[in-house]
Structure 1
Amino acid sequence: MAESGWLTTWRPGCDDPVPAGVSKAPNVQSERTKHMTGTLARPATDALSRAKAVAPLIESEADTIERETTITRPVVDALIEARLFWLMVPEEYGGLGLGMVDSLKVIEEISRADGSTGWALMANAFSTGIAVGFFSEEGAREIFDQPNPGITAGMILPTGKAKRVDGGYLVNGRYQFASGSAHASWIGAGFVVHGDDGEPLVSETGDPVCRVAFVPREKVEFLGNWNVMGLVGTGSYDYAVTDVFVPEKHTMDTFSTTPVRPEPLYKLGLLGIGVGGHSGVALGLATRALQEIVTISSGKARPGYDTFVGDSALFRREFAKYEALLQAARAYVYDIHGEAEQTAAAGEEITAEQRARMRQVTTWVQEVASEVVGFAHRWGGSQSIRNPSALGRCTRDAAVATQHLLVDPMTLVEAAQEILPGYLRTA
């Protein structure tokens, strides 16, 4: 299937001719220059302000984003202009250089504006953060330290296979769920390395040798297959990579625990970064649902109520309960990720319990978001079910977000193994 929408005419980071009437991505190098001379505020302090400035545009485009199953061009341009795709990229490469907590706050705000946009940005920015933290410096600079820096997307789990060849790998594979791929310039392709005999290579520990490659989008075949009930605008298309040579410097160890960069963020590891981003999306969806239902109920009349639904004691009691649940989840999300970053910044090892709690809270906050959005949906009446509807979209998006492999309920079982001993009484 051919690529859909404007992705057929615009490829960030490429110098291909662009048809008349379609502008190329803004020159990010000029933004970097302004930053170095002090024109832009410090990234760590104004990234959230940038997200809030872009949010109204995202809200206005949300219906079109869902209809076109991908982020629209105006929104992509705005995210590029704000440099939000490069939240975690070090400042020396032209990124914002944010840590985990500050990045999550940006994802929460963009997800509040639109869940699909927040999810796609999370997939792009967090995979970019992983790449720059675990690639070789040469490979990272080739992709990100450019006038138009790369935007990454795609599957990094080793579902493809590759043969080691001179200078790199010959990669083949068919992949799913490439969220944010319509505007990405580099597409991830995880693979198991095979030998000349066709058998998987095995490491010293006896495990298959697995790596992740990032492939230029022009070498990827997009297959569509994104017809879903929620998170529709994420553009999470299927795609295939066929006999593509990828140089060693554009690959990394799938399960590496040793980053090449010194920033505390990267000490969280591939899993800590890759999983944690989902919590920001959940918080944004739940917040938007509460905003929508408070607005709806403040002027909603219904038989059996003396005044507007929002004035009733029953509604206000439930609102207070679910709002408290959201506040508690938000505090835990930022507390545990912040604690892990502080541990890394102090030069200490992040503990097994801290890693378990990051997994715990990221899965739990999906359940919280589902409950909060469910509360809003129940009180929304017909305004929850008519299209287009921001509240209806929140309901569908939250339902799909809970189905992701990385927040499966079994992750809570695994997390409990490290958390339970702290409650064991020995006396």
Structure 2
Amino acid sequence: MSDTRRLHSAGTTLLERARELRPLIESEADAAEARGRLTTPVVDALHEAGLFGVWVPAPLGGAESSPRELIAVFEALSYADPSTGWVVMATTLENGTAGAYLGDDAVERMFAGPRMPLVAGQGTRPGTAVREDGGFRLSGRWSFASGMRHAQYAHSLGAVEGSDEVRIFITPMDDVKMLGNWDVLGLRATGSIDYSIDGAFVPESQSHVFTQDEPLRGGALYRLGLVDQALIAHSGWALGVGRRLLDELVRHAGARAGRPGQLAAGDTFHTGFARTEAAFRAARALVHETWDDVERTLDAGRMLDVRQETMVRLALNHVTSTVAEVARFVFASGGTSALRDGLVQRLFRDVHAGSAHITSGPQVLQECGRELAGLAPGESWEVFGLKA
């Protein structure tokens, strides 16, 4: 039966709505940064536009967008404001996978309301789960819970005591202690705080195996598993922020054209801009080429092979490092306008915060190189490393 699953296409409606929200998102960005969370008008508008359902399985009333549709939506939101794009990509990844993988009882509770539930948390360093009749007792401390201040549920990784099993646990916010320590250089409005859980009971239906790639609801998108779906989110984010940086530099240079000694008159700047634009467009093309190939594979009812797993990791790693270089070029070219508090400075800070994410780390790039060079025969991807 699983072999008959196909990709669901949501069309362009949500992308158009994301673009329409740009003026509101931009007007609220400074206030969001100051508060360390998105503002209520933006969160309400995202709900009303249906954007928090972009990843949710269609049987639950979500859009269940394809990978390239998701990338486009996150690109548009991140272009308007990197923190907004980041919060939406993180929470929708987690409410989408919850809808696809959790048991019926949990899904009925979570998706019964008039709004899509928001789920936030951390899926890398695990807490500890102890089996108990009907479920688990979960304890631990987790970091970087993007969107936690807007969420109704936490998504937390836990290692099951006495076994090799690692699971994702979904708990209501009443079970969560938010530690409120998000004091950072960039992506300030994401509110990616640390949190802890102390012995909360989690019913079996509110958890799933971390590596689950056969959905209980929805189509082929969810056969990617949690990790590969996260790569979609971060790829769209990088594309949106990179394009916005270059567009802001175009506006900056154009506003000063014709003035003696200005940036726009320099041959060195012209050459540097051409190279930076080309590098960004090439990285963007690799992202789209890679996910186009993935979509064809999924729609044919197949799973990704090792090389495709390598390429989705490489495409994200490459576009992220490229956007970091774009940010450095734009910041250096912006002169005192970039140095002062303002949009370019915020974009620069946000890019360097986002590029520190584990999905784009140096270990991933090393492993990609090893596989591409033919030096990992018989190995397959387990999260961010290759193993026999």
Q: Same fold (TM over 0.5)?
A: yes
Distance change in 2, residues 1:274/1:56 (3 Å): same
**Where do 5+ consecutive residues of structure 2 fail to align?**
1-8, 376-388
1:74 matched to 2:41? The reply is yes
Instruction: Tell me by how many angstroms 1:109 deviates.
Output: 1.0
1:159 paired residue number: 126
2:354 maps to which of 384, 398, 401: 401
> Aligned partner of 1:107: which letter?
F
Q: Residue deviations 1:163-193, cap 9 Å, x none?
A: 1111111111111111011111111121111
CA distance in 1, matches of 2:247, 2:290: 26
1:146 maps to which of 108, 113, 118: 113
CA distance in 2, matches of 1:360, 1:327: 16
**Where do 5+ consecutive residues of structure 1 fail to align?**
1-41, 195-200, 203-207, 423-427
Aligned pairs for 1:96-107 (under 5 A) are: 96-107=63-74
2:17 paired residue number: 50
> Aligned partner of 1:295: which letter?
R
1:131 paired residue number: 98
1:279 paired residue number: 235
Q: Secondary structure at the match of 1:164?
A: strand
Q: Is the 8 A contact 1:65 1:71 kept in 2?
A: yes
> Aligned partner of 1:413: which letter?
Q
CA distance in 2, matches of 1:311, 1:48: 37
CA distance in 1, matches of 2:368, 2:331: 31
CA distance in 2, matches of 1:100, 1:301: 40
Q: Is the 8 A contact 2:224 2:303 kept in 1?
A: no
Distance change in 2, residues 1:140/1:332 (3 Å): farther
Instruction: Tell me by how many angstroms 1:408 deviates.
Output: 0.6
2:145 maps to which of 160, 178, 181: 178
Q: Is the 8 A contact 2:52 2:116 kept in 1?
A: no
Instruction: Tell me by how many angstroms 1:308 deviates.
Output: 4.4
CA distance in 2, matches of 1:334, 1:146: 35
CA distance in 1, matches of 2:84, 2:279: 24
Instruction: Tell me by how many angstroms 1:87 deviates.
Output: 0.7
CA distance in 2, matches of 1:397, 1:158: 23
Q: Is the 8 A contact 2:213 2:222 kept in 1?
A: no
> Aligned partner of 2:150: which letter?
H
Q: Secondary structure at the match of 1:175?
A: strand
Instruction: Tell me by how many angstroms 1:386 deviates.
Output: 1.1
Q: Secondary structure at the match of 2:21?
A: helix
Q: Is the 8 A contact 1:340 1:350 kept in 2?
A: yes
Distance change in 2, residues 1:293/1:192 (3 Å): same
2:157 paired residue number: 190
Instruction: Tell me by how many angstroms 1:377 deviates.
Output: 0.6
Decide which structure has the larger Cα Rg and report it.
1
Q: Is the 8 A contact 2:119 2:154 kept in 1?
A: yes
Aligned pairs for 1:310-349 (under 5 A) are: 310-349=264-303
Q: Is the 8 A contact 1:124 1:151 kept in 2?
A: yes
CA distance in 2, matches of 1:127, 1:311: 48
CA distance in 2, matches of 1:179, 1:47: 22
2:325 maps to which of 353, 371, 385: 371
Q: Is the 8 A contact 2:100 2:217 kept in 1?
A: yes
1:288 matched to 2:241? The reply is no
Q: Residue deviations 1:335-391, cap 9 Å, x none?
A: 21221121011012211100110011111111110111111111101111211x111
1:299 paired residue number: 255
Instruction: Tell me by how many angstroms 1:311 deviates.
Output: 4.4
Instruction: Tell me by how many angstroms 1:122 deviates.
Output: 1.0
2:78 maps to which of 111, 114, 119: 111
Instruction: Tell me by how many angstroms 1:262 deviates.
Output: 4.9
1:64 matched to 2:31? The reply is yes
> Aligned partner of 2:171: which letter?
V
Aligned pairs for 1:249-288 (under 5 A) are: 249-288=205-244
Instruction: Tell me by how many angstroms 1:286 deviates.
Output: 1.0
2:3 paired residue number: none
1:27 paired residue number: none
What is the TM-score of this pair, normalised by structure 1? 0.82
- After superposition, the CA RMSD in angstroms is 2.0
Q: Is the 8 A contact 1:299 1:309 kept in 2?
A: no
CA distance in 1, matches of 2:63, 2:355: 29
Instruction: Tell me by how many angstroms 1:301 deviates.
Output: 6.9
1:411 paired residue number: 364
Instruction: Tell me by how many angstroms 1:105 deviates.
Output: 0.9
CA distance in 1, matches of 2:248, 2:112: 41
What is the TM-score of this pair, normalised by structure 2? 0.90
> Aligned partner of 2:343: which letter?
A
> Aligned partner of 1:85: which letter?
F
1:386 matched to 2:386? The reply is no
Q: Residue deviations 1:209-244, cap 9 Å, x none?
A: 111111111221111111000111110011111121
> Aligned partner of 1:82: which letter?
A
2:169 paired residue number: 213
2:181 paired residue number: 225
Distance change in 2, residues 1:163/1:224 (3 Å): same
1:35 paired residue number: none
> Aligned partner of 2:357: which letter?
H
CA distance in 2, matches of 1:354, 1:113: 31
CA distance in 2, matches of 1:353, 1:141: 38
Q: Residue deviations 1:68-120, cap 9 Å, x none?
A: 11111111011111111111112221111201110111111111111111111
CA distance in 1, matches of 2:286, 2:69: 15
CA distance in 2, matches of 1:250, 1:143: 10
Q: Secondary structure at the match of 2:320?
A: helix
> Aligned partner of 2:358: which letter?
L
